[in-house]
Structure 1
Amino acid sequence: MPRHLSHLSLVAVNIDGVLLNDSFSPVMRRLVESRGGTYTPAFERDLLSQPQLVAAQRAADGLGGTAQQILEDYFAQREEYVRENPVHMLDGATELLATLRSLNVRVICYGGLERAHFTRHLGDVADHFDDPGYVCTNDFRPGIREITELFGLRHDQVLFIDDVARVAEAARELGTPFIGHPGEKGHGYQRQMMEKTGVRHIVGTLRAIDEALLRRVDAEAAAGNVWR
């Protein structure tokens, strides 16, 4: 018999940095430094989980050039990066999806790239997700409010799992449950930003997001105390 969660109705899982390895933050650092800039926490915050043109314009403001030139340079450098570091599912991703399925909660994936990115890299596990499977958030990042409204739910009924502190900030403003999965320290500053934001649950591996943690977050959401 399915083991239902008592409060949460949907879990939204970010694609790059959670289910797939992060092929964006390392490239952003490389792009900034290749143009003579200094990659700081403030710079990182301005760039992550923003619509592409917004992030590119902010980068151009600090590094020179136009937003279009920054975008072209960025994606050229990312193409080179993924040749050396192929995109792949992270260790524990399949197990996380299976755990969510066992709890009989709806699950969707979201991210800033077009759906083809999801189909290419997660097509083999597409049956783990509920319709529409993937939501592209490039036009409305970070997307907490929009994804919640898409499913007709309250903000406290959706759990977001993401690697970016900007998403955590939006979740906190709305009282939305959140689990942080920040990237490696060598690439960026997301863990310390999440800690500063007050994220209660920050994990280093996907296997840490087990049934026990999910039930704990479910209970906290029901009690209205998901944020410390």
Structure 2
Amino acid sequence: MADKLQQLRLAAVNIDGVLLNDTFSPVIHNFIVSRGGEYTADVERSIFSQPQLVGGQGMANAARVPWTAQEAIDVYFKEREEYVRDHPVQLLDGAVDLLRRLRALGLRTVSYGGLDASHFDRYLGEHADLFDEPRYVCTNDFRPGLREITTEVFGLEYDQVLFIDDVARVAEVARALDIPFIGHPSSFEHSFQPQLMREAGTRHIVDSLHAVDDDLLRTLDAEAAAHTVWRD
């Protein structure tokens, strides 16, 4: 049996883009460019890991359509529903192994994201035993949710929680709070997240969940204890 980690107590793993494939970036990109808008890094900043109505307004602005935030969200979800018919939502390679690895090292695990809990139940329900209560936290009302998940949901300190996410805005908040963080940015060809994550100073970026191995997790554990996750 592997020795347990010493500092970290919880791993909070984003659902869409980390545990599940990214079915959001392609739809958002098409929403904007198909209506004559320009897709830029600033556009992603205005949409990703924002509350739905904020993201909806960002999409409407970028697409240059005179819609309310709710109207843009309604159209977006309709277009996403069409997209996933041909590009189904599915577990990413290594997702279940990652959860098992985290738990084998003594960490509690929880998932989080902007959709309601039915999304978790539909796609991860069969693996619910790999998560600790409440298993999933909907962060739409307090995105990106690092402070709330750490201090309010689990009653932990910032240096006791590891977040794994695909969005640079989450990395920026993690850095501001000195929270251990692993970036898993989207591989979508038009995504600015890998660039933005590097610009945010993220030191641990992976392109595969298999790369979040025991060695990396032990490195994060030691860095969390020394408060050097965001410093050389």
TM range (shorter): over 0.9
* Matched residue, 1:115: 117
Separation in structure 2 between the aligned mates of residue 186 and residue 60 of structure 1, nearest angstrom = 22
Pick one of 91, 98, 119 that aligns with 2:100.
Answer: 98
* Matched residue, 1:39: 39
Q: C-alpha displacement at 1:101, in angstroms?
A: 1.3
Q: Answer whether contact 2:26 2:188 (CA < 8 A) is retained.
A: no
Unpaired runs of at least 5, structure 1: none
Unpaired runs of at least 5, structure 2: none
Q: Answer whether contact 1:2 1:104 (CA < 8 A) is retained.
A: no
* Matched residue, 1:220: 223
Pick one of 50, 67, 70 that aligns with 1:68.
Answer: 70
> Which SS does the other structure have where 1:46 is aligned?
helix
Aligned length: 228
For 1:139-179, what per-residue CA distance to the aligned partner results, in whole angstroms no more than 9, with x for missing partners? 00000100011211111111000000000000000000000
Pick one of 154, 172, 177 that aligns with 1:174.
Answer: 177
Q: Answer whether contact 2:184 2:208 (CA < 8 A) is retained.
A: yes
Q: Does 1:204 align with 2:222?
A: no
Q: C-alpha displacement at 1:60, in angstroms?
A: 2.2
Q: What amino acid is the match of 2:227? A: G
Separation in structure 1 between the aligned mates of residue 202 and residue 150 of structure 2, nearest angstrom = 19
For 1:39-86, what per-residue CA distance to the aligned partner results, in whole angstroms no more than 9, with x for missing partners? 101101110000001111222233222212211110011001100100
Separation in structure 2 between the aligned mates of residue 2 and residue 152 of structure 1, nearest angstrom = 26
TM-score normalised to structure 1 length = 0.97
Q: C-alpha displacement at 1:185, in angstroms?
A: 4.5
Q: What amino acid is the match of 1:54? A: V
Q: Does 1:183 align with 2:169?
A: no
Separation in structure 2 between the aligned mates of residue 210 and residue 164 of structure 1, nearest angstrom = 20
Separation in structure 1 between the aligned mates of residue 192 and residue 156 of structure 2, nearest angstrom = 31
Aligned counterparts, 1:2-13, within 5 A: 3-13=3-13
**Percent of aligned positions that are identical:** 60
Separation in structure 2 between the aligned mates of residue 71 and residue 116 of structure 1, nearest angstrom = 18
* Matched residue, 2:84: 82
Separation in structure 2 between the aligned mates of residue 72 and residue 225 of structure 1, nearest angstrom = 43
Q: C-alpha displacement at 1:201, in angstroms?
A: 0.3
Q: C-alpha displacement at 1:123, in angstroms?
A: 0.9
Q: Answer whether contact 2:28 2:59 (CA < 8 A) is retained.
A: no
Separation in structure 1 between the aligned mates of residue 132 and residue 73 of structure 2, nearest angstrom = 32
Q: Answer whether contact 1:60 1:70 (CA < 8 A) is retained.
A: yes
Q: C-alpha displacement at 1:2, in angstroms?
A: 6.0
Separation in structure 2 between the aligned mates of residue 138 and residue 200 of structure 1, nearest angstrom = 27
TM-score normalised to structure 2 length = 0.96
Separation in structure 2 between the aligned mates of residue 70 and residue 33 of structure 1, nearest angstrom = 14
Separation in structure 1 between the aligned mates of residue 107 and residue 178 of structure 2, nearest angstrom = 19
Q: C-alpha displacement at 1:187, in angstroms?
A: 3.5
Q: Does 1:162 align with 2:144?
A: no
RMSD between aligned residues: 1.0
